[in-house]
Structure 1
Amino acid sequence: MTSSSRRVVVAINPAASFGLGSEVGPALVTTLRGLGHEVTSLTEPDFAQLLDATRAALREKPDALVVGGGDGMVNLGVTALEGTRIPLGIVPSGTGNDMARGLSIPIGDTEAAITALTAALHRPPRVIDAGRIAFDGGRARFACILAAGFDALVNERANRMRWPRGRSRYTIALLIELARLRPIEYRLTLDGVEHVERALLVAVANNLSFGGGMKVAPDASLDDGLFDVVLVRPLGRLAFLRIYPRVFAGTHVTDSRVVVHRAREVRIEAAGVVAYADGERIAPLPVDIHMQEGSLRVLA
C-alpha cells in the first residue's frame, strides 16, 4: 500500500443482484482497486448476514466502510459502525436515497458518486449526529428519520401484501390506508415534557427528507444535536391530499396543523403503530429515541 491508498470495506446491497443497482457494487470495487486502495468486498444473501459480515470486517479497523444501495444500506452501515470512529461512505443506488440527498452526494449518477467518494477518502470526514432507538426486546440506530404514523401504516400494510410486486404495492397500500385515514392517539415525551396529541403522523427527524425527497422536516440539521419532531394534526382526506404534495417542497410546515418541536430525547407511545427508521421496520411502539450527537463520521 502507498501513503495515499486506503483500506476500504465495501458492503453491497443483497437485493441489488438485478435492475438499476446491479452494476454499482462491481463498478465501485473496480474503481477503488484501480486507484490502489485495498478493498474487502462483502456480498451476502440477506441483510442479517451482511450486517454480521460487516461487523466482522470492521474489527480489522479499516479506513472506511462504503455502502452501495439505498437508505436501508445506509442504515446497515450506521448500525455496524456504532461505537467506532470509522467513517461511512455512500454510493446511492436505491429508490429513496434520502441520506445521500441530505449529504449532497450525487444521486442517479454512479460515476459522479464514486468520484465524490474517492475524493472524500483523502479529506477529514464530516461529523454528524445519529439516533439510538430502544424498544421492547432490542435497540437500533438510524441517521435519517424515524416515522410512526400514516406512512408507517402504509409500509406495514405493503410489507404484508404478497401481490402486486414492486412500487405499485405501495401505491395500493397508500390508497387503502387513505380510505381508513383516522387520527392516532399519541403520548409523546420530549426532553421529559409529556404531550398528549391526536395526529396522523409523527416523524423524528435527523435529516430533512424521507420517502425519496419528501421534505418532512425541511429545517432539520444533521449536526445540531437535536431532532426535529414533526406532528401532523388531524386532517380530513381532502385536506390531507391537498397538503401531501407540499411535503416535497417542505412548505407544509407553514400550515397551522403541522407542528414542529425540537428535542434530544423522545418517547413515542401509541397503540397499533409500528415505527420505521431509514425505511426499515424497527418495532411496535412504544420506542425511546436518544440523540447521539457527533457520533457518526461520513465521507461527504
Structure 2
Amino acid sequence: MSPSRRIVAALNPSASSGRGRLVGPRVVEALRAAGHEVTALAEADFAALLAATRAALADGADALVVVGGDGMVHLGLLALAGGEVPLGLVPSGTGNDVARGLGIPIDDTEAAIAALLAALEHPAQRIDTATITGDGIPASRFACILSAGFDALVNERANGMRRPRGRSRYTIALLVELLRLRPIDYRLVLDGVEYRERGVLVAIANNRSFGGGMLVAPDAQLDDGLLDVVVVRPLGRLAFLRIYPRVFAGTHVSDPRVVVHRAARVRIEAQGVVAYADGERIGPLPLDIAVEPGALRVLA
C-alpha cells in the first residue's frame, strides 16, 4: 500500500442535475478509509469552488481529485495551472468525456473509485492539455475539446434558457438551432498556414469525444502533442440529420464534407461565434489555442 497522501477533493453536488450529489461523499469516505488525508470542498458556484481549490492546493497537496463531469476537469486544470500535482477524476456528470478518454469507468461509481485508489498506488501518467488566449478574456486551458460552431451555438442557447431543466433543455436548443442552421465563414491558421473554411462546425480536439460520447475526433490522442481540427463543411438540414448519428460511432470522418487537420498551434476566427471548451463557456472568437505536450499528470 502506498503511503498516506494529502488529497484535495473538489466536489460538484449539482453534477448531472443533482443526481451525482451522493458520489462526492462516497469518494471522500473511500479515500479516508484507504488512509489518505482529505480536504473536501463543495461550494455554491464554480468561481467559489475554484478559489477554494486554489487556496487548498497552496497549503500543500499530493493530489487533486475532482468529482463531477468535464466542467470539473476544467476547474481542475485552472486550479492546477500547469503544476506537477496530479489530477484524479471520479465521473458523475452528464458528459464525462475526459473520463472516457482516460478509460475511467463512467457508469459505475464503485469501479471508478477503485480505479482511483489503484492509480494512487502507481506513478501518474502524463497527457496533453491546451491553452486558450484571446482579446478581453482570461487565459484558459482545456483537456477535451474546444468547439466553435453548431454545437457551441446549441450550448449558448441552452444556457440562456431557464426552462426546462436537464438534458431536454439541450434537445430544444438543438432543434431551434437546427432550424437556423447556416454556414459560418472561418479563418484558421494552423502552425502558421492559413485556411479559409466555410462550415457548420469546427472542433479543436485533444480528446476523441464530447457531448457525452460523440466521437467527433475519433483518431485524436491525449498524448501525441497535436490537436485534431475537425471541420464540417456546409450541410443542409436533412444532410445534417443524416450525418449527426454517425458522430457517435466516429464514422462521419469518412464523409467528404468532413475535413480533419492536425496542428500544435491554432488560431480560429469567425464573426458572432462563442467557443466552449470542456463544456464551459470560453468567449467569442478569435482565439489562439496551443497544445501543451504532457502538461497534466493524471491518476488513471
TM-score by length of 2: 0.97
SS at match of 1:72: helix
- List per-residue Cα deviations over 1:52-93 (Å, max 9, x = no partner): 111111113311100000000011001111231010000000
CA–CA distance in structure 1, aligned partners of residues 178 and 278 of structure 2: 22
- List per-residue Cα deviations over 1:104-154 (Å, max 9, x = no partner): 001111100000000101101110000100012221110000000000000
Q: How far 1:15 moved relative to its partner?
A: 2.1
- List per-residue Cα deviations over 1:263-286 (Å, max 9, x = no partner): 011011001100000000000111
Letter in 2 for 1:36: G
CA–CA distance in structure 2, aligned partners of residues 83 and 195 of structure 1: 30
Determine if contact 2:202/2:230 at 8 Å carries over to the other structure.
Answer: yes
Q: 1:252 to 1:16 in 2, by over 3 A?
A: closer
Match of 2:254 in 1: 254
CA–CA distance in structure 1, aligned partners of residues 9 and 21 of structure 2: 14
Q: How far 1:250 moved relative to its partner?
A: 0.2
CA–CA distance in structure 1, aligned partners of residues 236 and 17 of structure 2: 41
Match of 2:134 in 1: 135
Determine if contact 1:15/1:46 at 8 Å carries over to the other structure.
Answer: no
CA–CA distance in structure 2, aligned partners of residues 66 and 49 of structure 1: 17
Match of 1:50 in 2: 49
Match of 1:192 in 2: 192
Match of 1:95 in 2: 94
CA–CA distance in structure 1, aligned partners of residues 166 and 16 of structure 2: 15
Q: 1:12 to 1:235 in 2, by over 3 A?
A: same
SS at match of 1:67: strand
User: Which deviates more from structure 2 when the two are superposed, residues 9-18 or residues 204-213?
Assistant: 9-18
SS at match of 1:89: strand
User: Which deviates more from structure 2 when the two are superposed, residues 162-171 or residues 205-214?
Assistant: 162-171
Match of 1:211 in 2: 211
CA–CA distance in structure 2, aligned partners of residues 3 and 256 of structure 1: 51
CA–CA distance in structure 2, aligned partners of residues 285 and 211 of structure 1: 21
User: Which deviates more from structure 2 when the two are superposed, residues 214-223 or residues 165-174?
Assistant: 165-174
Percent of pairs identical after alignment?
A: 73
Match of 1:70 in 2: 69
The unaligned stretches of length 5 or more in structure 1 are none
Query: Does structure 1 residue 106 correspond to structure 2 residue 96?
Result: no
CA–CA distance in structure 1, aligned partners of residues 117 and 193 of structure 2: 45
Determine if contact 1:14/1:45 at 8 Å carries over to the other structure.
Answer: no
CA–CA distance in structure 2, aligned partners of residues 273 and 4 of structure 1: 49
Match of 1:292 in 2: 292
SS at match of 2:116: helix
1:9-48 to structure 2, matched below 5 A, reads 9-16=8-15, 19-48=18-47
Match of 2:152 in 1: 152
Determine if contact 1:14/1:47 at 8 Å carries over to the other structure.
Answer: no
Q: How far 1:167 moved relative to its partner?
A: 1.3
Determine if contact 2:223/2:294 at 8 Å carries over to the other structure.
Answer: yes
SS at match of 2:157: helix
RMSD of aligned Cα (Å):
1.3
Aligned residues: 299
The unaligned stretches of length 5 or more in structure 2 are none
Q: 1:221 to 1:202 in 2, by over 3 A?
A: same
Q: How far 1:222 moved relative to its partner?
A: 0.2
Letter in 1 for 2:227: F
Q: How far 1:4 moved relative to its partner?
A: 1.8
User: Which deviates more from structure 2 when the two are superposed, residues 72-81 or residues 215-224?
Assistant: 72-81
- List per-residue Cα deviations over 1:133-185 (Å, max 9, x = no partner): 00122211100000000000000011111222221111111011101111000
Letter in 1 for 2:234: P
Determine if contact 1:61/1:86 at 8 Å carries over to the other structure.
Answer: no
CA–CA distance in structure 2, aligned partners of residues 17 and 236 of structure 1: 32
TM-score by length of 1: 0.97
Determine if contact 2:10/2:65 at 8 Å carries over to the other structure.
Answer: yes
Determine if contact 2:17/2:166 at 8 Å carries over to the other structure.
Answer: no
